Chains A and B, each alone.
Chain A
Amino acid sequence: MTDLLDRQKLSYIAAQAADARLNVELETEGMTLNIGPQHPATHGTLRIIVRLDGEQVVWADPSAGYMHRGYEKLTEVRTFPQVTTLVNRIDWLGSFANEVPFILAAEQLMDIEAPPRAQWIRTILFELSRIANVGLFLGDLGVQLGAITPVFLAFRDREYVLNLIEAATGGRFHPNFDRIGGLKDDLPKGWVDETRQVMKKLRNFCDEMENLLFGNAIFQTRTRGIGVIPKDVALQYGLSGANLRASGVDWDLRRDQRIPLAYDKVDFKVWTHPDGDSFARCWIRLQETREATKIVDQLLDGLPSGPVMAKVPRIIKVPEGEAWISTENPLGEMGYYVVSQGDLGPFRVKIRTASFNNISIVPWVLRGVFVPDVITILASLYFILGDIDR
């Protein structure tokens, strides 16, 4: 409680200081504007309190928590399959990607490994959820900047991916497909060929987005040089994913760590950009979408045959222990710290989400920018409220 009061006091003092400076220099009052919680630009209910001097931001403070659903408390009273279901809903656009680190942590505690076919299919679905998530980002980027057409094209092409996920798992947004020891079911007939067609369509979509949005001179003027985050600041604030790679840091957990997913069996390029501005972040996500389609194609070519579920007991009791697994999710680095006491469900789960750290840089990066740039920077940082607030 005292920390909260201290923070509030500090914010208040900062506001007074900003006011005083404005009052002395310009003899005008700054204007405090609430961006959110209900706002077309934030991806959900995020509130950012900005203090404006005309159209320039003097001081910004994000206030998250409007969507807090109490995940970590909920997981204390649920069993492992139930937690898998709940966890889908953290980052709801790329939802399969949320289940994977949790299941991998539980498997690490149980000391079993899923069979190879299950690992490969997990990786395929992981990359498909990355495409679904970042495909929507590309469309949404247009809306934040004023171009209303890309978002419809993004939804149209995302439908293909969602139909694929539905054909395999039964649910479009919340697959709930991963199980401790493997997957719930195998792929239906014809899925592999269909996926190949869809990947071709998505590559076309990326080209269309490039022509419609990225190549546009107005888009370039709006995003180049806006919201530059240098390398060391990005590392200090704990950014991850495309935000970090856009500042020039070569960091990709898919390549760098050895977890039971099939990333070491495929060839892919990790895209970085030296600039660190909004354009770099958006451009890297576009390239990553293309790269993801290539990864899926390679995985489909080499899919091994066999069972999709290891030998696990009927009622799973995870032995005592603690495990931490983090993966390169579409939004950044997502990790689960699972503490188990030999029960049907976890004792405590700590969820480290990417968007929470990604928006911690908002006060630093929004100093001195104009109001339209605020929207551009928030759009390029790309967070999802479920991910911030859990």
Chain B
Amino acid sequence: MDGALAALARLGGEARIVAGGHSLLPMMKLRLANPEHLVDINDVTELAYIREGWDEIRIGAMTRHFDLLESDLLAQRFPLFRDAETMIADPVVRNRGTIGGSLCQADAAEDLSAVCSAAKAQVVIVGPEGERVVGMEDFHVGPYMTAVGTGEILTEIRLPVRPGAGSAHEKVERRAGDWAIAAASAALWIDAGTIADAGVALSAVGLTTIHLTRAEELLRGKPPSEELFGQVVEIASEDCAPSADGRGPVDYKRHLAGVLAHRALRRSAARALNQEV
């Protein structure tokens, strides 16, 4: 880790960290990314872990998709991770791709950004000045742009563990390994029949991950119900900003975003209340 930071400091703004490389190398082949230097952190094994603390789960940035999928701890505390990981790329790609790389790639169609947003994750960024902790709401600053600055490395994702949690990720893709047509992540924390807190985010239907803050505000303080979730369907359809492409026209994607948000919320509530069928 010290070596990687020293290399970044020495090489300056033209250097980029390469994690699993399964987004960055394709971007370089397409000449969409043009780094002068790559700093490979695949052998920084101290950044590969999933640990449970007393009030949070900590995931090292170099934890690979395969290990996120296999983690029973994550599946129990934040089942939306396993939902998402079964459909991220394909099993061979999942052997290399990492959570840190996915978040830093900041592709709007990438699933883990929405997952971490819904789960209210915080990320740890380490640089020459030391360490800082940033919430997911401030992490993405634009398409393919994050709060990670020159000379800095994303090292850890922290998921606060609170009682009454349920979460789910819903995605529709055309075939295994394709990008999502749309995907929705949801997390609910239900206390005595009332939604104490909620997280809802969408993938692939805008220039960045869409944080549905309007939906989260609506959900907070109310008992979970089909009627309430139905109102989120409208918000999801309205607040996303998809573009038409080979995966579908705009009205279809807006409709899909709403349907998937609804399903994710319904499953989150069922899981929070131990009523999942």
Note whether A and B form a binding pair.
no
